[in-house]
Chain A
Amino acid sequence: MVDFTPVPALCGGLLIGAGASLLLLGIGRIAGVCGIVGSLLDAPRSPDAGWRTAFIVGLAFSGLVGFALAPASVTNVANSPPALVGAGLLVGYGARLANGCTSGHAVCGIGRGSTRSIVATCTFMLTAGVTVFLVRHVVGR
């Protein structure tokens, strides 16, 4: 059975857009999670470290409260730690090399009409799709 949930997904998307819009109109910054985390790791003493830390605390705190209210909204993957670590390394390195991830390129970048972000989003959707296809339908069959 396909778990098709367009209404919560759309509402969630509107909230994601609202969060990114608040950061842009409030302090003029792009809400790219990897850019914010990466910049904080690169320059922990920057004047921007305060709001970057607050942003990450906000993300984690929403997880804490959201999980308490609706435990089914956060699930764990079955992957082994080596797979999780390998995937994390690829995501962290790749997002910094590409200067953006899902939030930075697919939401903010496309939302402001950036050609780079459209190319980035098409590229990572394609390689993610191919990876899932290989894992599920070629290796995993």
Chain B
Amino acid sequence: MSMNIEVRLVGLGSGLLLGAGLMLAGMTRPEKVLAFLDVAGEWDPSLAFAMAGAIGVFAIAAFAARARLRPLWAEAFQWPEAALVDAPLVLGSALFGIGWGIVGYCPGPAIVSVGAGSIPAAWFTVAMGVGMVAYRLSRR
């Protein structure tokens, strides 16, 4: 139980860093996200730099993690186990992309924007939660 507070602080710190990064990158400006996706229009490739930076840093961390027996404040690394490319992966990603393309919000930036007091982001985020619960209910 003594690890409990450390585990929560890691969660908090991770959320803070991620949120700050999303804001600095421009992901909390839906028009910038849509300009990144609008290859046929006035394309703004900025967010490709954000993706490259994030993937690069995380790749180093993942490499370091594989060389360790356990994380700093938990018993074991919990790597995703699924390995097969299947229909739910492709269908779910396709639906996700359509929603992302309609308004320019994905889950992280939407929650950051709610914190900033955005009413449109609150509409989106509540509906996103309903969509997540709907998925769980559909699995029963």
Contacts and interface: CB of A to CB of B under 8 A. Distances in A.
Interface of A: 1-31, 33-34, 37-38, 41-42, 50-64, 66-67, 70, 73-77, 79, 81, 83-103, 105-116, 119-121, 123-133, 135-137
Interface in B19-53: 19-32, 34-35, 37-53
Contacts of B101: 127-132, 135
Contact of A2 (B35, B59, B135): B35
Contact of A75 (B4, B29, B37): B29
A83 B61 contact: no
Contacts of B80: 30, 99-100, 109, 114, 116
A58 B55 contact: no
Nearest to B39: A129
Given A17-B53, A74-B113, A124 B82 contact: no
B108 A102 contact: yes
12 contacts: A15-B20, A16-B53, A19-B21, A28-B76, A64-B115, A66-B19, A70-B23, A79-B102, A91-B107, A96-B92, A121-B93, A131-B37
A98 B93 contact: yes
Interface of B: 4, 6-32, 34-35, 37-62, 64-65, 68, 70-80, 82-85, 88-108, 110-121, 123-136
Given A20-B14, A27-B73, A106-B51, A12 B100 contact: no
Given A3-B44, A76-B118, A62 B20 contact: yes
A75 B30 contact: yes
B43 to A, nearest CB: 7
B107 A37 contact: yes
A90 B99 contact: yes
Contacts of B82: 99, 116
A27 B11 contact: yes
A109 B82 CA distance: 11
A51 B11 CA distance: 5
Closest 8 CB pairs of A and B: A58-B15, A92-B131, A17-B57, A13-B53, A12-B25, A88-B127, A62-B19, A63-B115
